[in-house]
Amino acid sequence: MSTSIQLNKVVKAYGPLRAIKGIDLSIEPGEFTVFVGPSGCGKSTLLRMIAGLEEISDGDLLIDGERMNEVAPSRRGIAMVFQSYALYPHMSVYKNLAFGLETMGAKKDEIDRKVRHAAEILKIDSYLQRRPKALSGGQRQRVAIGRAIVREPRIFLFDEPLSNLDAELRVQMRVELSRLHQQLGNTMIYVTHDQVEAMTMADKIVVLRDGQVMQVGKPLDLYNRPANQFVAGFIGSPKMNFLPAKLAGNAGAAGEGATLEVAGTSLPFGRALPPALAGEALTFGVRPEHITVGGEAGVFLGEVEVQLVEHLGGQTVLYVSTKGGEMLTVVIDGQMRVTHGEKVALRVDPALCHLFNAEGLAIAA
Amino acid sequence: MSSASSPVTAPASGRGYAPPGRLGRILSRNGPGYLFLLPWLIGFFGLTLGPALSSLYLSFTDYDLIQAPNWVGLANYVRIATADPKFNAAMHVTFLYVALSVPLKLMFALAVAMAFNRGIAGLPLYRAIFYLPSLLGSSVAIAVLWRQLFAADGLVNGMLAWFGFQGPSWISNPHYSLYTLVVLSVWQFGSPMIIFLAGLRQIPGDLYEAAEIDGASNWRKFWRITLPLLTPVIFFNFVVQTIDAFKAFTPAFIISEGTGGPINSTLFYTLYLYQEAFGFFRMGYASALAWILVIIISLFTAFAFLSSRYWVHYDE
C-alpha cells in the first residue's frame, strides 16, 4: 500500500519572506526520498508542510492524487519522527507507542498487538515499561520510530532523526532505517543536512537551497552529473574543488576537444564546448578523488605544493596550493609518502571533470 | 624536588607567637564573608529564630504583656483542643477558605497563562497588567477598595441593578462574606500565572505536534501532555499558595474591621490569633495558637511532598 506525493508550485510565505519558493516535486509510491541542503534551506519547512504542521501558502499538495492542503495532519495518513524524538517523558515506552492508537480509539487488544509487533521489529520489547529518560539516545530513537510504525501510516516523515546520535550509532541506525524501508515498503521522506546520509539511504535526493529545488535525482546521478555548482559542491565528501577557468583558443570542433586555461595551465578538456563561452568566466570542478598524483594517466593539471597531509590508512588526503594560491583537496587511495612543502604534479581525467558557467550552471559537453 | 626539604614550622620569633584557636582561625580566614553575612545573621537570629523560640516558650505560659509569664504547661493547648468554640470556628473558616481559594486561584491562573501562551501581541504589557493585582492584592488599600465594591450600595450591586438584580450586602451577610474574600484571593492570580506561563513555555512544542499528528484533540493534549508536564509547577504553586492562604490576614481584617464577622464568617485563623494577642493580650494563648498553625502548615507541606512522588512528573 504505497503512496505517491505530488507538490505543485508549493509556496510557504511568512509575511513578505518566502521560505519555500514554488516547489514542484513528484515522489513515487514506495520511494525513499531525502531532502538535503544546508541549514535554513527550507527542507524541514517543506517536510512540515507535507505533514500538515505548517500551512501551505500557495500551490497544491496531493497525496495519492487527493488534494491535502486543508486536511488535518492526523487524516493525511502520515507518521513523523522528530529530531528531538518528541517522546512523552511522563509515559512509559509502551504508553508512548500506544498513545496514537488510543487517540484513534483502537481496542485494547489491538493496541497491545500492534505495540508488541512494532517493539519486536525494533528490538525494544525488553524495555517497554521504562520511561524515556531511562533509555539511551539510540533506544529513544527506536521508540520514536516505533511510535510511527504502530500507526501503520501511508507515509513516514523523518526530520533529521539521527542528528542527536553519535557517529557510530548514526551509521548503525542508517542501516536499520534502510532495512526498515525495505521491510515495510512505505513511501518515506527523510530530511537531513548530511549528504552522506542522503547518498547512502535515498532512492531519490532532492537538493534544496534558499527554498528552491537545485536538483532532483538518484544519488549517483547527482554525484556524476551535478546540474549546478551548488549541487556539485554539496554532494560528495570532501567537497569538489573549484578553480577559475576560461576557454583558451578555440572551443574545439567535432573530434577535437576544447582547451581550458585552469590555474595557469593549459588543460585539454577532451570535449567540444559552445564557442559562445569564449571570454566568459568559467569554473572548473574536479572531485578530490578524481585527481591523481604523478603517473602518466590523464592530463596535467599543474604542479602544486603540499600544505597538509592527513593519513587515514585506507586513504591519504592532501591539501595543496596551486601557483596562483588556490587551495585544492586531493584524495589518494592507499598510503602515500609525502611531506609538507613537497612539490607534486597533479593529473586529472577530463571525462571526470566538470565545467560551470558564470551563473553556476553545469555546461553540458 | 629537594630531598632535604624542611617541615613547615611556626615562625621562630622572640615575641612569643601564640597560635590562634580553631574559631580564631576560621574567623581570620572567613572574616569578610561573615561580615557580609552579618545583617542576615542578625535578622535571622534576632527577628526570626529568637522570637519563634520565645513564642514557643510563651505558649506554655499565661503571659499577658503586663505580668511576668507563669508556666502553665499544656493548659493553653488543652483549652484550645477542648474548650474553645472560636478556635473551631476559625479552623472551619480557614480550611474552607484554603479549600476554595487555592484551587480556584490556580485554575484561573492556569487558564490565563494558557491563553497568554498561545502567543498574543503585546504579551509583556498584558502580563504586567495581570500581575498588578498580585502586587497590590494583599495591601490594606485594596482590601478597603474591595469593601467599597462589595458593600450593599457598592459598585457590584450597582452593576447588578442595571440588569434588574438586587444584590445583597456581600460583606455583611454571613452567607456571602467569606466567598467575597475568596474572590479577592482569586483576583490575585498574577504570581502563580507568571509561574505557570514559565512552565508552559518549557513544554517542547514538538510534543504537541506529535500529538497533533496522532489526532489528539486540544482537550486530550491538555489532559495527557500539558497537565502531566506541568505538575512540578502545579506542585510548587499549590504548596506556596496553600501556605499563603493559611496565613491570610489583611483582607479579613479590613473587610470585617477586625471582628471576623459577621457571625465569625470571616474569622480567619490569623485574625483570631491577632484578636487573642492584641485584643485580649493573651500572649501565651496566642502563641499556642500560632504554634498549632505552624504544625498544621508543616503537616500539610510534608503530606504534599510525600504525595508528590505519585503525581509530580520530573523530566530527566
Give the residue among A122, A156, A157, A154 at the shortest CA–CA distance from A140. A122
Q: Confirm if A130 and A55 have CB atoms less than 8 A apart.
A: no
Q: What are the strands of the beta sheet with A5-14, ordered from one edge?
A: A17-27, A5-14, A58-63, A66-67
Instruction: Look at strands A265-268 and A259-262 and give their pairing.
Output: antiparallel
With pLDDT > 90 as the criterion, what percentage of chain A qualifies?
A: 69
Predicted pLDDT of residue B4:
41
Q: What is the ipTM of this complex?
A: 0.85
Predicted pLDDT of residue A128:
93
Amino acid at A39: S
Confidence of residue A299 (pLDDT cuts 50, 70, 90): confident
Interface A-B: count of C-beta contacts within 8 A: 61
- Give the distance, in angstroms, between the CA of residue A207 and the centroid of all CA atoms in the same chain: 7
**Are A104 and B220 a contacting pair at CB < 8 A?**
no
Amino acid at A139: Q
Residue A29 has pLDDT above 80, yes or no: yes
- pLDDT tens, residue by residue, A170-181: 888 889 899 989
Predicted pLDDT of residue A250:
65
**Are B206 and A84 a contacting pair at CB < 8 A?**
yes
Q: How many domains does chain B have?
A: 1
Mean pLDDT, chain A, integer: 91
Which CATH number belongs to the domain containing residue B178 in this structure? 1.10.3720.10
Task: Please list the residue range(s) of chain A that carry CATH number 3.40.50.300.
Answer: 5-227
Written as tens digits, the pLDDT of chain B (316 aa) is 334 444 444 444 444 455 567 888 887 888 888 899 999 999 999 999 999 999 999 999 998 888 888 898 889 999 998 988 899 999 999 999 999 999 999 999 999 999 888 877 777 888 788 777 777 756 777 777 877 888 778 888 888 888 888 777 777 777 888 888 898 888 888 889 999 999 999 999 999 999 999 999 999 999 999 999 999 999 999 999 999 999 988 878 887 777 777 788 888 999 999 999 998 899 999 999 999 999 999 999 999 999 999 999 887 5
CA A241/CA A352 separation, integer angstroms: 12
Distance in Å, alpha carbon of A145 to nearest chain B alpha carbon? 12
Q: Is A80 helix (H, G, I), strand (E, B) or coil?
A: strand
Overall average pLDDT of the A212-228 stretch: 95
- pLDDT tens, residue by residue, A51-77: 999 999 999 999 999 999 999 999 999
Return left, alpha or beta for A78; rule: phi > 0 is left, psi -120 to 50 is alpha, else beta: beta
The CATH number of domain A5-227, selected from 3.20.20.70, 3.40.50.300, 3.40.50.2020, 3.40.50.1110: 3.40.50.300
Whether B9 maps to a domain, the answer reads no
Which residues form the domain of B107?
Answer: 79-311
- Cα angle A79-A196-B206, degrees, rounded to a multiple of 5: 30
With pLDDT > 70 as the criterion, what percentage of chain A qualifies?
A: 97
CA A274/CA A253 separation, integer angstroms: 10
Whether B20 maps to a domain, the answer reads no
Predicted pLDDT of residue A217:
96
Length of chain B: 316
Element (H, E) at A117: helix A108-122
- Alpha helices (H) along chain B: 22-42, 50-58, 75-82, 85-117, 123-136, 140-150, 155-162, 177-187, 190-202, 205-213, 218-221, 227-246, 250-255, 269-274, 283-311
**Are B206 and A86 a contacting pair at CB < 8 A?**
yes
Q: Which of B215, B229, B313 sits opposite A74 (nearest CB)?
A: B215
Whether B236 maps to a domain, the answer reads yes
**Are A74 and B213 a contacting pair at CB < 8 A?**
yes
Predicted pLDDT of residue A1:
57
CA B50/CA A264 separation, integer angstroms: 90
Confidence of residue A138 (pLDDT cuts 50, 70, 90): confident
User: Which of residues A250 and B36 earns the better pLDDT score?
Assistant: B36
Residues of B with CB under 8 A from a CB of A: 204, 206-207, 209-216, 220, 224-225, 228-229, 313, 315-316
Predicted pLDDT of residue B156:
83
Predicted pLDDT of residue B138:
62
Whether B293 maps to a domain, the answer reads yes
All residues of chain B having their beta carbon less than 8 Å from the beta carbon of residue A55 are: none
CATH of span A241-356: 2.40.50.140
Residue A84 has pLDDT above 60, yes or no: yes
CA A264/CA A267 separation, integer angstroms: 9
Site from B207, B213, B218, B230 to mutate, A interface, most A CB atoms within 10 angstroms: B213
CA A242/CA A233 separation, integer angstroms: 8
Terminus-to-terminus CA distance in chain A, angstroms? 42
Whether B64 maps to a domain, the answer reads no
CA A205/CA A183 separation, integer angstroms: 21
Predicted pLDDT of residue A256:
67
**Are A75 and B204 a contacting pair at CB < 8 A?**
no
Amino acid at B277: A
Task: Please list the residue range(s) of chain A that carry CATH number 2.40.50.140.
Answer: 241-356
User: What pTM was estimated for this model as a whole?
Assistant: 0.82
**Are B213 and A53 a contacting pair at CB < 8 A?**
yes
Q: Is A198 helix (H, G, I), strand (E, B) or coil?
A: helix
